[in-house]
């Protein structure tokens, strides 16, 4: 057993013996000394060598180093504050950075380590339930340094029928939040989202959100003054601690609602756009006023670089004032209200109907903007929403956006109609254009491609991507439809025309669980995945056209799986398919053609072997994407093929299962099936999963124990709370 592993095991052995063993502290102290020795020894030689180099006349040798190793192991706990160098103390704690339980034990048994250990223990706090608030508030009250230690805070309370009784506990915890002077990342979600705002949502809005607003306002005023004072005198920043809560906040995400509706008015939250340190801001379901003149005096004063509006009711004039506050905004998402309609608000886009006002608003960030996304609801109102129109506007359009490299929009967006369709108004250095289309639009990009001339006129364009959305149970999300031979060959011919203008063509899919799940996507909900299904630069245009199918190629056709008779009779397991389809990040993508040599003729055609290869890769990619949603539908394997978690991107794969906040699993599937309207694709998907050894459990989990679900969801060790209790029980002895 490695020394570090053996040392940690020894420390854990004594961390659970406190209630039973009267000599707990002595044994735990000895265990702590052993752990510190084992963890510190690797750091001693380089540290002492460094100190020897700095000391005049030092004659320290390797032999004395070895002697000191044994001496420190025996006498470390006798006077840890005097004998253990600070560098080694930090090294020991950093070795335990990912082991909170052992850090708790270390803090209990050694006063010299308590502060450092607690800085790691309380660095990240993620709250999925209000049941932990009382204990964590008590811990904060007993030692204020724990409040200062918090760098990341995620408030993700889940709704339940007894949530209202936690009002006082939430108030107490919110006061602690307002004092978190070192908080860098903050994520807030209302527990009353997803149609629960009528069941106590006003208490969240008038209580929690209002307290957060006051704390942010104070950070904008007092925090800005403190920041300016520290900037003028660097000695202050080294000798004094920050005193204003939330003043160093860098990333903020807020998903909330109104007191009795799904949208919340901005009102006093204009302080979000005046914050002195905020760099990333993501807000959803906000209704903006017509104007925000209060921001006029704050032009180019904030360090904000990324701003995301998600399902918001935007106004051009207030947007102009908001975009005037960042000094150098780089990434902007204008997400108008597209899906949250038919309840308190109607579908009413504000930017595309008035393109001149919209262009005037975003002109405030023309000097720095690098990527721009517009999510527009105009396609929901137009009967011929697939038709591409051109609108000529006066002025120079977006010619002043010299830093803009990437733009993403629908074909009905003002960006597409007034800018892309007029090449002399387009950004001069636009490199990548992503054109979106929702699957509710009948004329999808898999079957209907726009005119090539719309994009070849853009002189700086290098990549055009058409991105089609699809639901997991819809026929659009099948390789048979996407790679139907005629569709695929037309797609390749379209790409060839762009290739002749030095533009690479990509066709992507944005696959979501179904239309019953709409943005904004909350924590634990399966965010739609984006995957490129066709890349012209990868497929190439030089080949000999071969009309014969490739041998041994596994191609799914409907419910059947075709394989050449010469191939060995072996079917791939689901794990093998996932591993095969997952691209290796270290290796360059392999080309689909046998050769891309210049000696091969250039052609816009695909052979039968190319069609089958592309179809096979597309099928495997879609299967991998659907498997992620299948896990959320409580799909269970007859036999466990092993842990596949390493094959998933942590940033993309955040699905944690559905719970009481949404419909049951069964109801969600039925709703998606009804909305997306493709029973055949659903049955094919179920049959395919069953062929791979996946059993479908068509039952709701509503009656499950909430506490057990919470523990399983977070993966919290069973004895974590015991360690926290130990910390509280022995805390007084450390003072």
For the segment 681-697, what is each residue's pLDDT rounded down to a tens digit?
Answer: 666 666 766 776 666 55
User: What CATH number should be reported for the domain whose range is 124-528?
Assistant: 3.80.10
Q: Please give the Cα distance from 529 to 510 (Å, whole number).
A: 5
Could you tell me which residue, 577 or 350, shows the higher pLDDT? Answer: 350
Residue 567, pLDDT > 80, answer: no
What's residue 682's pLDDT? Answer: 65
What's the distance, Cα to Cα, between the start and end of the chain in Å? 36
Closest Cα partner for 413 from 435, 441, 446? 435
Residue 250, pLDDT > 90, answer: yes
For the segment 90-111, what is each residue's pLDDT rounded down to a tens digit?
Answer: 888 888 888 888 888 888 888 8
pLDDT band, very low/low/confident/very high, at 44 (cuts 50, 70, 90): very low
pLDDT band, very low/low/confident/very high, at 233 (cuts 50, 70, 90): confident
For the segment 615-655, what is each residue's pLDDT rounded down to a tens digit?
Answer: 999 999 999 998 887 765 544 333 333 333 333 343 433 44
**Of 51-65, 225-239, 292-306, 512-526, which one has max mean pLDDT?**
292-306
Q: Is 673 helix (H, G, I), strand (E, B) or coil?
A: helix
How would you class 104 by CB atoms within 10 Å of its CB: exposed for 0-12, middle for 13-18, buried for 19 or more?
buried
How much is the average pLDDT of 353-382?
A: 95
Phi-psi region of 422 (alpha: psi -120 to 50; beta: other; left: phi over 0): beta
Cβ-contact 208, 174 below 8 angstroms:
yes
Spell out the residues 6+ positions from residue 236 whose beta carbon is closer than 8 angstroms to its own: 229, 230
Closest Cα partner for 344 from 158, 527, 198, 204? 198
How much is the average pLDDT of 581-586?
A: 41
For the segment 327-340, what is each residue's pLDDT rounded down to a tens digit?
Answer: 999 999 999 999 98
Could you tell me which residue, 155 or 670, shows the higher pLDDT? Answer: 155
Closest Cα partner for 199 from 254, 155, 255, 257? 257
Give the tokens for residue 374.
Answer: 């517009």
- Percent of the chain with pLDDT strictly greater than 70: 67
Q: Please give the Cα distance from 482 to 489 (Å, whole number).
A: 11
Q: Please give the Cα distance from 212 to 694 (Å, whole number).
A: 46
Could you tell me which residue, 637 or 136, shows the higher pLDDT? Answer: 136
Cβ-contact 69, 44 below 8 angstroms:
yes
Give the tokens for residue 619.
Answer: 């099928």
Q: Please give the Cα distance from 353 to 534 (Å, whole number).
A: 33
How would you class 174 by CB atoms within 10 Å of its CB: exposed for 0-12, middle for 13-18, buried for 19 or more?
buried
Strands 463-471 and 504-512: parallel
How much is the average pLDDT of 295-312?
A: 97
Spell out the residues 6+ positions from residue 374 whose beta carbon is closer than 8 angstroms to its own: 334, 336, 351, 408, 409, 410, 413, 414, 415
What's residue 229's pLDDT? Answer: 87
Residue 307, pLDDT > 80, answer: yes
Please state the φ and ψ torsions of residue 600, each to the nearest 5 degrees. Answer: -75, 150
Domain residue ranges in the chain:
3-118+716-734, 124-528, 555-703
- Percent of the chain with pLDDT strictly greater than 90: 51
SS3 per-residue string spanning 102-156:
HHHHHHHHCHHHHHHHHHHHCCEEEECCHHHHHHHHHHHHHCCHHHHCCCEEEEC
pLDDT band, very low/low/confident/very high, at 702 (cuts 50, 70, 90): very low
For the segment 363-376, what is each residue's pLDDT rounded down to a tens digit?
Answer: 999 999 999 999 99
Q: Please give the Cα distance from 362 to 401 (Å, whole number).
A: 10
């Amino acid at each position: 057993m490695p020394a570090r592993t053996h040392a940690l095991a020894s420390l854990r052995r004594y961390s659970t013996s406190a209630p039973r063993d009267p000599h707990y502290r002595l044994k735990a102290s000895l265990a702590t000394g052993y752990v510190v020795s084992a963890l510190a020894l690797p750091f001693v030689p380089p540290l002492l060598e460094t100190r020897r180099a700095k000391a005049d006349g030092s004659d320290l040798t390797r032999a004395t180093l070895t002697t000191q190793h044994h001496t420190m192991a025996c006498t470390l706990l006798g006077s840890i504050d005097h004998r253990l160098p600070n560098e080694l103390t930090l090294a020991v704690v950093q070795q335990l950075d990912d082991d909170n339980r052992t850090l708790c034990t270390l803090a209990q048994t050694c006063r010299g380590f308590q502060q450092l250990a607690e800085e790691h223990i309380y660095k990240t706090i993620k709250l999925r339930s209000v049941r932990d608030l009382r204990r964590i508030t008590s811990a904060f009250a007993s030692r204020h340094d724990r409040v200062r230690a918090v760098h990341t805070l995620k408030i993700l309370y889940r709704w339940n029928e007894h949530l209202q009784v936690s009002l006082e506990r939430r108030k107490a915890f919110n006061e602690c939040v307002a004092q978190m002077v070192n908080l860098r990342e903050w994520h807030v979600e209302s527990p009353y989202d997803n149609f629960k705002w009528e069941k106590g949502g006003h208490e969240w809005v008038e209580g929690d959100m209002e307290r957060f607003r006051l704390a942010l306002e104070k950070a904008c005023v007092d925090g800005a003054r403190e920041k300016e004072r520290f900037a003028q005198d660097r000695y202050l920043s080294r000798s004094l601690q920050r005193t204003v809560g939330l003043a160093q906040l860098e990333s903020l995400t807020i998903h909330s609602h109104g007191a009795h509706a799904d949208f919340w008015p901005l009102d006093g939250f204009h302080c979000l756009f005046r914050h002195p340190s905020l760099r990333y801001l993501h807000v959803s379901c906000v209704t903006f006023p017509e104007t925000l003149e209060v921001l006029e005096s704050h032009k180019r004063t904030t360090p904000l670089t990324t701003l995301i509006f998600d399902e918001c009711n935007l106004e051009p004039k207030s947007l102009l004032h908001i975009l005037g506050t960042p000094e150098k905004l780089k990434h902007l998402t204008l997400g108008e209200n597209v899906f949250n309609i038919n309840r308190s608000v109607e579908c009413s886009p504000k930017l595309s109907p008035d393109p001149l006002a919209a262009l005037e608003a975003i002109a405030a960030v023309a000097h720095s903007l690098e990527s721009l996304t517009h999510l527009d609801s105009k396609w929901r109102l137009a009967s011929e929403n697939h038709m591409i129109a051109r609108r000529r506007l006066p002025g120079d359009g977006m010619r002043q956006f010299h830093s803009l490299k990437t733009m993403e929009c629908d074909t009905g967006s003002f960006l597409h109609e007034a800018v892309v369709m007029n090449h002399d108004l387009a950004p001069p250095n636009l490199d990548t254009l992503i054109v979106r289309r929702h699957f509710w639009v009948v004329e999808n990009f898999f079957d209907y491609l726009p005119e090539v001339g719309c994009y070849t006129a853009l002189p700086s364009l290098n990549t055009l991507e058409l991105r089609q959305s699809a639901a997991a149970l819809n026929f659009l999300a099948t390789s048979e439809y996407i790679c139907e031979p005629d569709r695929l060959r037309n797609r390749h011919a379209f790409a060839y025309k762009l290739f002749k203008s030095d533009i690479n063509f990509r066709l992507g899919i944005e696959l979501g669980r179904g239309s019953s799940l709409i943005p904004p996507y909350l924590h634990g909900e399966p965010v739609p995945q984006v995957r490129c299904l066709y890349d012209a630069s990868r497929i190439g245009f030089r080949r000999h056209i071969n009309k014969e199918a490739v041998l041994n190629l596994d191609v799914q056709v409907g419910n059947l799986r075709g394989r050449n008779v010469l191939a060995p009779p072996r079917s791939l397991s689901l794990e093998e398919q996932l591993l095969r389809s997952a691209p290796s990040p270290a290796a360059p993508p392999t080309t689909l053609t046998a050769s891309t040599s210049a000696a091969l003729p250039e052609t816009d055609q695909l052979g039968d072997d190319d069609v089958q290869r592309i179809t096979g890769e597309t099928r495997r990619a879609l299967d991998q994407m659907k498997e992620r949603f299948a896990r959320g539908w409580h799909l269970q394997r007859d036999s466990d093929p092993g842990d596949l978690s390493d094959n998933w991107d942590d940033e993309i794969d955040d699905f944690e299962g559905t719970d009481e906040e949404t419909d049951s699993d069964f109801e969600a599937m039925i709703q998606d099936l009804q909305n997306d309207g493709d029973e055949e694709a659903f049955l094919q998907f179920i049959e395919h999963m069953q062929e791979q050894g996946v059993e479908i459990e068509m039952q709701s989990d509503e009656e499950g124990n909430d506490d057990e679900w919470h523990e399983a969801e977070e993966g919290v060790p069973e004895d974590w709370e015991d360690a926290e209790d130990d910390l509280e029980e022995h805390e007084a002895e450390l003072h």
